[in-house]
Amino acid sequence: MDFSTCKMIRLTQDLQLKPFDCGREDVNSYLFDGAKSYDKQLLSVTYLIENADETIAFVALTNDRITLESTPITGRWKKYFFEYLPIGKKYISYPAVKMVQLGVSKYYQNQQVGTAVVDFVKRWLMTNRFTGCRFLTVEGIKESLPFYEKNGFYYITNDDVDSDARIMYYDLKRLEEL
């Protein structure tokens, strides 16, 4: 996919949305029926990747945190907590940004567009550093879990293995190692 003809813009209340269909009615509905309302209520911010004719993809972001009281400290997360997080004071929660929605037009799926959007968000959070943010999180539906695994996300817990969606995280500090 050649992104040279695309632009990324923040969704605003007066922006006219261009055509978009990712093949999932719930994701389409979020963009067309909910995103502006969530933005107005200061609950999330949506960014669109567009060309002249259509929306190619979008991502909606909100603040999040990973709390130690609600997250079982086992497995990989235990290793992160005890070995990789800052030496000194251990916090009861760590700052994160959550991808509330990620949608890619069905005409651009399987062309690495979703991966490019996730990579952009990761690097954008590290480059701009508007606030402290250690993790990027997502509550991925079952069909999307292999996508997030491929993009370096790990499961916070195995307690949700039988759920319709699983909470995953990406440690942004890993970008310094790449």
Q: For the CA atoms of the chain, what is the radius of gyration?
A: 17
CA distances from 89 to 86, 139, 149, 169 (A): 8, 28, 30, 21
Strand residue runs (E) in 39-147:
45-50, 55-67, 93-104, 135-141
Q: What is the pLDDT of residue 67?
A: 77
Q: What is the pLDDT of residues 64-120, one digit of tens each?
A: 998 766 665 555 666 666 566 665 566 777 899 999 999 999 999 999 999 999 999
Cβ contacts of 62 within 8 Å, gap of 6 or more? 43, 44, 45, 97, 98, 100
Question: pLDDT category, 4, cuts 50, 70, 90?
Answer: confident
Level-2 CATH architecture, domain 3-177: 3-Layer(aba) Sandwich (3.40)
Cβ contacts of 58 within 8 Å, gap of 6 or more? 11, 20, 31, 35, 46, 47, 48, 49, 101, 102, 103
Q: What is the pLDDT of residue 177?
A: 73
What is the residue extent of each domain of the chain? 3-177
- Would the pLDDT of 51 be above 90? yes
Q: What is the pLDDT of residues 29-50, one digit of tens each?
A: 999 999 999 999 999 999 999 9
Quick one: which of 89, 83, 96 has its CA closest to 170?
96
How high does pLDDT run on average in the chain? 88
Q: What is the pLDDT of residue 86?
A: 61
The amino acid present at 23, given as its one-letter code, is: G
Q: What is the pLDDT of residues 11-33, one digit of tens each?
A: 999 999 999 999 999 999 999 99
- Would the pLDDT of 151 be above 80? yes
